[in-house]
Amino acid sequence: MSKAYLSHLSVPPSWLLSNLQNLTGTQAFGGSGFLKPYTKLTEYPEFNPKYLLVHNPITTTSGPISRCLDDIRHSLHPSNTTTDRFTSGWCGLIEYPENPNQEPLGHFSHYTGCILIDPEQHYILALSYSPEFANQSQIDFDNLKSKISTTNTKSAPKVRSWTPGFTKPEYLEKYAQVEEYLKSGDCYQVNLAMPFHCKDDLTLQNPLPLLETFNAPFSFYMKTADRSVFSVTPERFISIRHNQIETRPIKGTAPRSADSHEDLQLAEGLKASLKNQAENLMIVDLLRNDLSRSAKPDSVKVEKLFELETHTNVHHLVSTISAEKRDDLSPTEVIRSAFPGGSITGAPKRRAMEIIHELETESRGAYCGSAGFFDAHGYTDFNILIRTISARKKGATCWGGGGIVIDSTAEEEYQEIFNKVQKILNTPL
């Protein structure tokens, strides 16, 4: 395993974070899920990075995901993962497939190192397998400072106007079609989603208002020449550490309440809900099967079932499944084998995806895809891109959805979409 170099950078964290929208080619990862491996990185317990930033890619690969992952796999070290965290390697996202018969698209960039940002301690560290990375990063950020007056075209954050992609009657009609498929035995769960559209150009808006409002475990931001992706997702797709695979599907949702007593009742009601437990268990079984294709025999285990998690906008039920990776597989092959995540398709996965393609009016794009990273020595972590805004100059889209099962009700499922995304749509950006 290569030696890693850790160096301090003389860059104010607040300045860097407030200018992420000016760093084309940048990706940022945030939250307790992605950043957990860095909490004890130094001998100073006060250093607790909140964001991981990568910038100035060496190279990029885009297109059908099999081609992208082949490019990545050939640059990784042997298949056994030997690192505890991401230091340098490939970062990017996989989009949800446009239809079940089409290969999903990938967008990945290779980075020499990463920047760890602790805004509370006003401290930034550069981490890399290259001793030159810190000096080059300092030069890059100093150059950015000198150009910032001409490149910063961000407008002040404001609440945007979002329009649902379906009217309520249109949603109820689609729901009724899903219900018929469930009754006929085609599926036992379908994740039907609805887009919301904004006509504003959000590509030059800073992601911090969203990231700070939600403080989600697997937050993500990506800035490219033609689009920006903002995600405050709470869900892990797959992580691989020392050949241990973990997935943490979310199924089961209840709204939050400003009244603490009512909020507790909502959380307890969710945890006791047999309907939500059944919905979660369906996806646990699907993901046990998905992981088994990449796992050593008899190593797939359900570590936690129906664990309650409370987030800024909703309560969720989360389960944890683990497995030991087969020695002959690369982390890229594990990700490809399980993609897309079962929690955002339904079950059986293939038929659910066919129904989704039939009923949803446009392709999901980044929504319900996955974003994450492959370290050069194998450490891997990917989220599921729910609670996500995908922005281009012509406008932006944010989706909301939920798993429909035989004992769901149309009114509750329709309201659940708004429970999940309304706070995102109301956050100034």
Single-letter residue type at 18: S
Annotation says 423 is catalytic: no
Q: Tell me if 366 sits within 8 A of 388, measured CB to CB.
A: yes
**How many residues can be counted in the chain?**
429
> Which H, E and C letters describe 179-227, residue by residue?
HHHHHHCCCCEEEEEEEEEECCCCCCCCCHHHHHHHCCCCEEEEECCCC
Q: Which residues contact 144 (CB under 8 A, 6 or more apart)?
A: 19, 22, 23, 151
Please pick, among 50, 95, 174, 235, the residue that the annotation labels catalytic. 235
Q: How far is CA 301 from CA 6, 208, 296, 423, in A?
A: 36, 37, 11, 35
Query: What radius of gyration do the chain's Cα atoms show?
Result: 21
Please pick, among 251, 325, 420, 423, the residue that the annotation labels catalytic. 251
CB count within 10 Å of CB 21 equals 21
Annotation says 362 is catalytic: no
Residues annotated as catalytic are: 235, 251
